[in-house]
């Protein structure tokens, strides 16, 4: 028994030696495998979804949504004026006033709202607002920016409801009887005024929020870049490519981890894109809301406000009639370019939407 005890003690001392311990760890495998459980195909798929599938499908959906919004914006600047001009020409040609339908009244309402929005922007001195905001303290600017951002979101959400009510009033006015014509007309005018006030508020709040953002949230970027010597080419890349890539990266990270933590599969983004394509093709079989609701009135007001002084610098000096001629010429050329662009964007969108809907249908049939 004494000899056996000595042998066990000798073996124990050999097993506990540092060299034998290091050899055991060396041939025993990575110690991380003992603290982290082994994965499986499901977890591997989650990693692939977070890093590859969700960003790709999300960016594809965002790009498609951007071009749908661009198509709606171009429609407001090209299709709506053409419809109004055709209606006015028909009245002047026949010299008979016909009661407008709901679509025509909606066009008139949007045109009035657009005109009032541009007029409100013309009365705003953006440079004065910029200098007033720049003179404030940093902490105060953060508070002002957050308040304006929330106010802007509320106005935008409320503006969608106001336009829906305006279109409903246009439909009621177009189909009303003679007895209710006065009531429907007054309600249409009231909804028109509310829509114009809401749009003006959204524009003003959006401009203030944008200026506050430029001044308050970008102090660090201004400090790190303003004193650097850069060439013209590098400056162009800093204002365009870098901003675009940062936005893409932020969207990819945000949606990837939202999908991961909420267990949303990447196929959901493909379904969203399919619904958006059906909306483009007017192929929605149910009565749900539109998948993408974009109101281009505020951006159109801003674009017109920005282009007005640019075109004013292009007008030559001369008699009033000569300046009117150049104004009409630039307006016609601008409308022609926008109309051509609208046609190209619309046709490409419809072709790609048809292709994607058919592709999704084939994939579903293959899975079934």
Q: pLDDT tens digit string along 167-226?
A: 888 888 888 887 788 888 888 888 778 777 766 655 555 444 444 444 444 444 444 454
The domain segmentation of the chain, as residue ranges, is 44-367
Q: What is the pLDDT of residue 327?
A: 86
Query: Is pLDDT larger for residue 133 or for residue 289?
Result: 133
Assess whether pLDDT exceeds 60 at residue 242: yes
Which range, of 73-77, 175-179, 270-274, averages the lowest pLDDT?
175-179
Q: What is the pLDDT of residue 29?
A: 59
Q: Is the Cβ–Cβ distance between 328 and 315 less than 8 Å? A: no
**Secondary structure, 3-state, 279-345:** HHCCCCCCCCCCCCCCCCHHHHHHHHHHHHHHHHHHCCCCCHHHHHHHHHHHHHHHHHHHHHHHHHH
Q: How would residue 102 be classed by pLDDT, with cut points 50, 70 and 90? A: confident
| Helix, strand or coil, per DSSP, at residue 39 | coil
CA dist 60 and 12 (Å) reads 64
* Mean pLDDT value across the chain: 75
How many angstroms separate the Cα of 86 from the Cα of each of 91, 97, 104, 108, 201? 9, 13, 10, 12, 31
Closest CA to 194 of 297, 113, 108: 113
Segment 247-264 mean pLDDT: 82
Q: pLDDT tens digit string along 335-363?
A: 999 999 999 999 999 999 999 999 988 88
């Amino acid at each position: 028994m004494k000899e056996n005890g000595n042998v066990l003690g000798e073996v124990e001392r050999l097993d506990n030696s540092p060299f034998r311990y290091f050899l055991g760890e060396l041939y025993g495998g990575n110690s991380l495998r003992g603290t982290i459980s082994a994965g499986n195909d499901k977890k591997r798929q989650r990693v692939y979804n977070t890093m590859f599938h969700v960003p790709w499908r999300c960016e594809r959906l965002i790009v498609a949504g951007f071009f749908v919004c661009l198509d709606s914006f171009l429609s407001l600047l090209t299709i709506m004026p053409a419809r109004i001009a055709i209606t006015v020409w028909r009245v002047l040609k026949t010299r008979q006033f016909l009661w407008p339908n709901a679509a025509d009244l909606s066009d008139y309402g949007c045109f009035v709202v657009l005109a009032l929005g541009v007029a409100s922007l013309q009365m705003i001195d953006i440079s004065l607002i910029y200098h007033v905001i720049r003179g404030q303290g940093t902490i105060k600017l953060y508070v002002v920016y957050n308040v304006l951002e929330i106010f802007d979101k509320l106005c935008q959400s409320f503006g969608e409801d106001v336009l829906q009510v305006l279109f409903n009033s246009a439909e009621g006015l177009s189909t009303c009887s003679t007895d209710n014509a006065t009531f429907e007309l007054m309600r249409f005018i009231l909804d028109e005024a509310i829509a114009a006030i809401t749009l003006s508020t959204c524009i003003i709040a959006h401009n203030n929020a944008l200026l506050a953002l430029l001044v308050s949230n970008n102090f660090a970027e201004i400090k790190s870049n303003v004193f650097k010597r850069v060439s013209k080419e590098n400056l162009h890349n800093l204002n365009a490519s870098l901003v675009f890539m940062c936005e893409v990266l932020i969207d990819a990270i945000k949606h990837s981890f939202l999908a991961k933590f909420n267990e949303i599969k990447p196929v959901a983004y493909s379904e969203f894109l399919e619904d958006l394509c059906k909306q483009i093709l007017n192929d929605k079989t149910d009565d749900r809301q539109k998948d993408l609701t974009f109101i281009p009135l505020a951006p159109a007001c801003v674009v017109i406000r920005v282009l007005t002084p640019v075109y004013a610098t292009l007008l030559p000096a001369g008699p009033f009639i000569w300046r009117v001629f150049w104004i009409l010429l630039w307006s016609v050329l601008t409308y022609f370019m926008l109309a051509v662009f609208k046609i190209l964007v619309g046709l490409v969108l419809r072709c790609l939407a048809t292709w994607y809907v058919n592709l999704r249908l084939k994939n579903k049939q293959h899975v079934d």
